[in-house]
Chains A and B, each alone.
Chain A
Amino acid sequence: MVDAKTLTHLERLEAESIHILREVVAEAEKPVMLYSVGKDSAVMLHLARKAFYPSPPPFPLLHVDTTWKFQEMYKLRDRMARESGMELLVYQNPEAAERGINPFDHGPLHTDMWKTEGLKQALNLHGFDAAFGGARRDEEKSRAKERIFSFRTASHGWDPKNQRPELWNLYNARKNKGESIRVFPISNWTELDIWQYIHLNDVPIVPLYFADERPTVERDGMLLMVDDDRFPLQPGEEPVMRSIRFRTLGCYPLTGAVESTARTLPDVIQETLLTTTSERQGRAIDKDAGGAGMEKKKQEGYF
């Protein structure tokens, strides 16, 4: 029923994303790709390599590091930068480092200082005027409302009530002095699309997405992995080996694992399809400030 001239949904999504990546490179002065090492970043990076092949993508990768990512993430990050031939910029907010901000003692301040503030500082430091991000509209309801080219004020705020119209595939990349653009090339991909694309294109991802025996602690209804010896064990807590994997990756003390035996991509996809909770459920960040948590964070400059 599908003839050669009708593109499949993944082909249409891929073509749209590549078009967006090229428009930004053609029109922005100094673009950068925010690379968080998760599966969405992995797909976005792969699309960038496709968009500009045989040239390497003509912009650097920026990792806004919190120093609390999983060890496996740092390994893959360095490997992908090497393989893609792109410059890797790692930024750590010096103030957060100096004050020893960490997810165990500082709660929401950890995300605010390392990620939101760190991102703003890094963008200002290098003077990037357009930053690619791997956010998807199906992740969260304020993301569902965001344009592909999302304008931020000089202080990196987002004004959701006053977004530019965005017609066809014509993107207006002109901005006023001090403004910057966050661009989301994979806006229209779903979690399943991402997995299927990784499967079909052999996109390298962090092994933590696959189940394995890992040391874990159960705390506040979340399964946390003890990724290094900075994990402060509470009285009576003892790491237990469990077969777990992650649906989403962030700072290891803030990211809940699921018990699983899915060791291959098809197994992971199978679990994803049969699951009854959303992927961001394992993230503590969405739960602040009631229903408008993410929208509020974005207005403050979070991706």
Chain B
Amino acid sequence: MTDPIYKTDALIAQDIDQYLKVHEHKTMLRFITCGSVDDGKSTLIGRLLYDSKMIFEDQLAALEADSKKVGTQGQEIDFALLVDGLAAEREQGITIDVAYRFFATEKRKFIVADTPGHEQYTRNMVTGASTADLAVILIDARKGILTQTRRHSYLTHLIGIRNIVLAVNKMDLVGYDQAVFDKIVADYAAFARSIGITAFTPMPISGFKGDNITGPSANTPWYKGPALIEHLETVEVNSAADADKPFRMAVQWVNRPNLDFRGFSGQIATGSVKPGDAIRVLPSGKTSTITRIVTLNGDLDEAVAGQSVTLCFADEVDCSRGDVIAASDNPPQAADQFEATIVWMADEEMLPGRSYWLKIGTQMVTATIQQPKYQVNVNDAGGSGSHLAAKTLELNAIGVANLSTDKQIVFEPYATNRTLGGFILIDKLTNATVAAGMLHFSLRRAQNVHWQATDISRDFHAGLKNQKPAVLWFTGLSGAGKSTIANLVEKKLARMNRHTFLLDGDNVRHGLNKDLGFTDADRVENIRRVGEVAKLMTDAGLIVITAFISPFRAERDMVRQMMQPGEFIEVHIDTTLADAEARDVKGLYKKARSGQLKNFTGIDSPYEAPEDPEIRVDTAVMTAEQAADAIIARLIP
């Protein structure tokens, strides 16, 4: 059962030292298998493991028993059961999550990620693809190209995998007919061109029967190309190309065991480094020279892309986690506005304008995304990856959008550098990874539009008015009494000769924000604009009072971040839904309950109460007058 291509049992038995030497110098190839449900991905991997003797007798005995019990291959061994490791997968007979499997031949060690075919598990497919050097795209010879084939080909190309094998599987079920194979290859070539795939290696196989897996099959004499394993053993791995690019390393950790040692630890993304090399620390731009490459086994003369090292500098330059060390004469740029492709991976749709954490390399910043320029139609039968108009991105959607970050980040286009071009977005409330993205380029605007420094400063404005600017941000359910109390507060402040301005929700929606509705995305944009206006007014020295439902915590926090420290005062007008609905001054609750009004906060749209507001007004125990006095007491102690 062992094929000679995988392991030379004779050499192992006779000369283990020699075998170990050979094995020590093996390279590694990481690849994924993808394609539609039932195209035979798991079976192919099961076959590779079985042929390479990575399945042991005890596992085989368990597999045989399982195959008879729950297998889909009659009395024969169902290899898919080897890789579908979760109980839910075995019950449903589908692959939900990526499984990583390992095997080795004489020349290479392989890590194969078996990725799920179902569209609902796309994020798991992308997870597997992101670390792969090569993709094996399977097609059922009886079915030809399917929606999932197109989708996975697009994702594979998007994630930057340049080595693609088109494995036309189940050839045994079409009588090893060359015409069937040629037709599928021609169809795929036309589709591949349309999405930008320039080259792929087609081969006719049967994972179940073993044709063209380890060597040429007698069943396909018309096929002259390599068998799958031969191809996997010889194809060039991506990391080799990274070594020829300019030097870049993201700093993970500063190593300071004592006052005499300061090293910068990280994994080299591209290029190589030697002691004596001139480097530049970004984004600061400070330069120095490498003195040592430190490891537990002694200093190195050189380190290359892919290695994890610790570098020492000749000078005491400021450098910490998130910084990038780069070749001094060829550094990457820093920017804060970009165009990017985004793969949305969360059940909750993307909200343009909301702030998310963005992690790229070892940098963590706050980012906001604009409304997508377009969404890619990856299920398009024509295969052109045509563009669809989109206001947001939903689960598994792929789109292109501009985004901006609150700080400059050191970056390179994803096509040039995966480490400095690939990012993830993290929801600030749930901490879930909600998207993956790839930077295309920075926007010129960011490079050329500089902040206009004015001579009359915000302190001067405030000084003229003899007051400290602030934002009193009222939040609460509709009908809680926000506008009433805000009005009272403003009247009282006016009597105290304070310069104020009240921004009211309803009023703003008649003008500045009259283009916005009440979807989640529009609510976010509404608050963002109000926040920006409030910020300009505080620069002018005003005390700004705002009265908006502002139901989402994330947006209130976003506005808080915009303001100077201490100037944002969150006022929660806390009333129960029952009380607010009983009052129903504008008759809105009645309308919402009857279904005439959609997306109404508290009814069919959530209200996220502040966790720790500066001021909380409990309307059950305070009158509007008492509340206004309490707020002023907090503002002007």
Is B truly associated with A?
yes
Q: Which residue of B lies closest to A55 (CB)?
A: B257
- Flag whether B90 is at the interface (Cβ < 8 A): yes
Expressed in whole angstroms, the Cα–Cα distance for A52 and B272 within the complex equals 21
- Flag whether B562 is at the interface (Cβ < 8 A): no
Query: Which residues of chain B have C-beta atoms less than 8 A from A23's C-beta?
Result: 252, 362
Q: Tell whether, in the assembled complex, residue A22 and residue B265 are in contact, meaning their CB atoms are under 8 Å apart.
A: yes
Contacting B at CB under 8 A, from A149-171, are 160-161, 163-170
Q: Tell whether, in the assembled complex, residue A188 and residue B310 are in contact, meaning their CB atoms are under 8 Å apart.
A: no
The contact of B252 among A26, A53, A137, A174, by CB within 8 Å, is: A26
Q: Tell whether, in the assembled complex, residue A9 and residue B27 are in contact, meaning their CB atoms are under 8 Å apart.
A: yes
Known: A5-B243, A18-B267, A25-B253. A161 touches B88 (CB 8 A): yes
Query: Which residues of chain A have C-beta atoms less than 8 A from B391's C-beta?
Result: none
Expressed in whole angstroms, the Cα–Cα distance for A138 and B359 within the complex equals 29
Chain B interface size band reads: 35 or more
Expressed in whole angstroms, the Cα–Cα distance for A8 and B304 within the complex equals 12
Query: Which residues of chain A have C-beta atoms less than 8 A from B518's C-beta?
Result: none
Query: Which residues of chain A have C-beta atoms less than 8 A from B308's C-beta?
Result: 14-16, 18-19, 22, 51
- Flag whether B321 is at the interface (Cβ < 8 A): yes
Which stretch in A62-70, A116-124, A126-134, A275-283 binds the other chain? A275-283
Query: Which residues of chain B have C-beta atoms less than 8 A from A188's C-beta?
Result: 100, 102, 111
Query: Which residues of chain B have C-beta atoms less than 8 A from A10's C-beta?
Result: 24
- Flag whether A239 is at the interface (Cβ < 8 A): no
Which stretch in B205-213, B428-436, B618-626 binds the other chain? B428-436
Q: Tell whether, in the assembled complex, residue A275 and residue B304 are in contact, meaning their CB atoms are under 8 Å apart.
A: no
The contact of A192 among B101, B104, B240, B294, by CB within 8 Å, is: B104
- Flag whether A125 is at the interface (Cβ < 8 A): no
Expressed in whole angstroms, the Cα–Cα distance for A259 and B463 within the complex equals 88
Expressed in whole angstroms, the Cα–Cα distance for A54 and B299 within the complex equals 11
Contacting A at CB under 8 A, from B262-303, are 263, 265-267, 272, 294-297
- Flag whether A269 is at the interface (Cβ < 8 A): yes
Expressed in whole angstroms, the Cα–Cα distance for A172 and B99 within the complex equals 20
| Minimum distance in angstroms from A269 CB to a CB of chain B | 6
Known: A187-B100, A292-B87. A15 touches B20 (CB 8 A): no
Q: Which residue of B lies closest to A151 (CB)?
A: B431
Q: Tell whether, in the assembled complex, residue A167 and residue B20 are in contact, meaning their CB atoms are under 8 Å apart.
A: no
- Flag whether A82 is at the interface (Cβ < 8 A): no
Which stretch in B137-145, B375-383, B417-425, B494-502 binds the other chain? B417-425
- Flag whether A145 is at the interface (Cβ < 8 A): yes
Q: Tell whether, in the assembled complex, residue B56 and residue A281 are in contact, meaning their CB atoms are under 8 Å apart.
A: yes
Q: Tell whether, in the assembled complex, residue A167 and residue B99 are in contact, meaning their CB atoms are under 8 Å apart.
A: no
Q: Tell whether, in the assembled complex, residue B28 and residue A170 are in contact, meaning their CB atoms are under 8 Å apart.
A: no
Known: A165-B123, A166-B127, A168-B422. A291 touches B24 (CB 8 A): no
- Say whether chain B's binding surface is mostly helix, strand, loop, or mixed: mixed
The contact of B25 among A2, A12, A55, A274, by CB within 8 Å, is: A2
Query: Which residues of chain B have C-beta atoms less than 8 A from A275's C-beta?
Result: 56
- Flag whether A11 is at the interface (Cβ < 8 A): yes
| Minimum distance in angstroms from B20 CB to a CB of chain A | 6
Q: Which residue of B lies closest to A177 (CB)?
A: B431
Q: Tell whether, in the assembled complex, residue A196 and residue B296 are in contact, meaning their CB atoms are under 8 Å apart.
A: no
Expressed in whole angstroms, the Cα–Cα distance for A236 and B26 within the complex equals 51
Interface residues as binary, A31-57 with B (CB distance below 8 Å gives 1, 0 otherwise): 000000000000000000111111110
The contact of B86 among A138, A193, A266, A295, by CB within 8 Å, is: A295
Q: Tell whether, in the assembled complex, residue B12 and residue A270 are in contact, meaning their CB atoms are under 8 Å apart.
A: yes
Which stretch in B58-66, B400-408, B587-595, B599-607 binds the other chain? B58-66
Known: A5-B272, A164-B432. A145 touches B97 (CB 8 A): yes
Query: Which residues of chain A have C-beta atoms less than 8 A from B483's C-beta?
Result: none
Query: Which residues of chain A have C-beta atoms less than 8 A from B296's C-beta?
Result: 49-50, 53
Q: Which residue of A lies closest to B357 (CB)?
A: A174
- Flag whether A240 is at the interface (Cβ < 8 A): no
Expressed in whole angstroms, the Cα–Cα distance for A22 and B267 within the complex equals 10
Q: Tell whether, in the assembled complex, residue B13 and residue A274 are in contact, meaning their CB atoms are under 8 Å apart.
A: yes
Expressed in whole angstroms, the Cα–Cα distance for A273 and B22 within the complex equals 14
Q: Tell whether, in the assembled complex, residue A172 and residue B359 are in contact, meaning their CB atoms are under 8 Å apart.
A: yes
Residue picked from A54, A147, A161, A277, most chain B C-beta under 10 Å: A54
The contact of A277 among B58, B108, B357, by CB within 8 Å, is: B58
Residue picked from A51, A144, A270, most chain B C-beta under 10 Å: A144
- Flag whether A234 is at the interface (Cβ < 8 A): no
Query: Which residues of chain A have C-beta atoms less than 8 A from B426's C-beta?
Result: 172, 174
Query: Which residues of chain B have C-beta atoms less than 8 A from A26's C-beta?
Result: 252-253, 321, 362
The contact of A6 among B23, B240, B433, by CB within 8 Å, is: B240
Query: Which residues of chain A have C-beta atoms less than 8 A from B25's C-beta?
Result: 2, 8
Known: A26-B362, A55-B255, A275-B56. A6 touches B27 (CB 8 A): yes
Q: Tell whether, in the assembled complex, residue A165 and residue B431 are in contact, meaning their CB atoms are under 8 Å apart.
A: no
| Minimum distance in angstroms from B415 CB to a CB of chain A | 14
Q: Tell whether, in the assembled complex, residue A165 and residue B422 are in contact, meaning their CB atoms are under 8 Å apart.
A: no
Query: Which residues of chain B have C-beta atoms less than 8 A from A281's C-beta?
Result: 56, 58
Expressed in whole angstroms, the Cα–Cα distance for A25 and B252 within the complex equals 9
Query: Which residues of chain A have C-beta atoms less than 8 A from B90's C-beta?
Result: 291-292
Q: Tell whether, in the assembled complex, residue B131 and residue A142 are in contact, meaning their CB atoms are under 8 Å apart.
A: no
Contacting A at CB under 8 A, from B94-143, are 96-102, 104, 108-109, 111, 123-124, 126-127, 130-131
Expressed in whole angstroms, the Cα–Cα distance for A267 and B17 within the complex equals 9
- Flag whether B7 is at the interface (Cβ < 8 A): yes
Provide a sorted-by-A list of 10 A–B residue pairs whose CB atoms are within 8 angstroms. Answer: A5-B243, A6-B243, A50-B296, A51-B265, A141-B85, A145-B99, A167-B433, A169-B267, A172-B359, A190-B102
Q: Which residues of A contact B (CB under 8 A)?
A: 2-16, 18-19, 22-23, 25-26, 49-56, 137-138, 140-145, 147, 160-161, 163-170, 172, 174-176, 187-188, 190, 192-193, 196, 199-200, 266-267, 269-270, 273-278, 281, 291-292, 295-296
**Besides A2-B27, A274-B13, A276-B57, 16 other CB < 8 A contacts?**
A5-B240, A7-B304, A11-B306, A11-B307, A19-B252, A23-B252, A142-B85, A165-B433, A167-B130, A167-B436, A168-B131, A170-B422, A176-B430, A187-B100, A270-B16, A278-B56
Q: Which residues of B contact A (CB under 8 A)?
A: 7, 9, 12-13, 16-17, 19-20, 23-28, 56-59, 62, 66, 82-88, 90, 96-102, 104, 108-109, 111, 123-124, 126-127, 130-131, 237, 239-240, 243-244, 252-253, 255-257, 261, 263, 265-267, 272, 294-297, 304-308, 310, 321, 345, 357, 359-362, 418-419, 422-424, 426, 430-433, 436
